[in-house]
Structure formats: structure tokens, C-alpha cells
Chain A
């Protein structure tokens, strides 16, 4: 299994790790699909939650023009 989280042995996804989360959003700021991230369902949910928290705290954009 090769995805960023497994490769780097990351167990928890934190909303403050912007550099990590940026790997899972496209240039428009949308969360990538599981097809593209190749994360497990559990990991994808964790990333989703973290990105949404980061967006609320204005650390990541909701949309990027």
C-alpha cells in the first residue's frame, strides 16, 4: 500500500499540519478523491476532518481562485 500517510508512518492527522494536508487538496482547494489519494477509508476520513478543521480556522482556503 503506498500512500503518503503509510509511507511516512503517520498515525494521526492534525489540522495544524498544513504542509501535509496540502498534499490532499487540489489547486482549487478541494479535497482529492480516494482514487487520487489512495488512502484507506479510515485515513481518508481523518484527512477530511482535518482539512475541514483547517478550513474553519482559515489555515486552508475553502476555495482558491
Chain B
């Protein structure tokens, strides 16, 4: 049994290039890139994956995203801090070599200021989750304040009646 295990491990190592895996790459494109040129940058990433024999599974188009903190980058030899960027992602199937090639290509890319490449699963991982909003108050729920006590009509009270009523109270 141990022999078998060893042999499978060796086989894995040998076929490392041939084994195809599911990867996802997320990237931030510099905000200085013009909107019409973004597709070119993404096209470059896509062609790099295709060149290595990868196939696409899913993709998210780049959209302007605010960063939670400033990301440093270089632009024409100067240090710049980005506070936003175009965030997009691609899920693809490819060999280990394809992933490595993509990684080195993205590292050298000037337009991509940051990227992440990791192994994932084929299924859609996005959760259908809506964050509960704090205390949802519907307009229809507003309390209608209807005066419960209708104003008592002050009927004219004669002096005698008042006196009698007072006496009744004090008598007790």
C-alpha cells in the first residue's frame, strides 16, 4: 500500500504540468488607465491564460472600487498612492504552468496595481446574501395618533349641582 501511495505522489509530481486546476485571479487596474483602455488590459490577461491552454469559467467585469486603504504604486518613476481602482476577476481552468505564467505576467504589468491568484472550485462561490439593514421602518407602520379622549363637552353646570356634588364627595 505504501508503495502505491509513493507511486501516486510521484505520478502527480510528474504530471504537474498536465494536471489542470481551477484558479481565480482578481486584479486592480490603475485608475489612471482610461475607461476605453481597460478592455485592452483585460484582453491581455485573457490572452495570457488562453496562450497557456486555459479555459474560462466565469468572469467579473472591472468596475471602479474604492480601496479600504491606500495602495502604493509607481507611475513614470514616481511613487503614487491609489485610493481607487478598477476591480475585476476571472475564474479559469488551466495547468500549473499557466497559473505561473499569468502570475509573472501580472507582476510585470504596469496597469495592474495589485492582483491575487489562488485555487478555487468550479462551482459558483458567490453567496446570495443580502445584509440585513438596520431597523427597517415602513412608512405604513407609522403610528397614527388618534386622540382617544374626545373632548368632553362642558355642559353648563349650575351652582347648586356643583355644591351637591362637592358635598357628596366630602361626606364620604
Contact = CB atoms under 8 A, between A and B. Distances in A.
Contact of A53 (B28, B60, B67, B116): B116
What size tier do the contact residues of chain A reach?
Answer: 20 to 34
Contact of A16 (B68, B71, B118, B126): B126
Given A14-B125, A17-B127, A22-B131, A57 B69 contact: no
B72 to A, nearest CB: 11
A11 B116 CA distance: 22
A61 B116 contact: no
Interface string A48-65: 000001011111111000
Given A58-B71, A59-B68, A20 B116 contact: no
Nearest to A12: B125
B88 to A, nearest CB: 10
Interface string A23-65: 1000000000000000000000000000001011111111000
A1 interface: no
Contact of B67 (A16, A19, A23, A58): A58
A60 B125 CA distance: 18
B107 to A, nearest CB: 15
Interface of B: 26, 28, 60, 65, 67-69, 71, 87, 89, 114, 116, 118, 121, 123-131
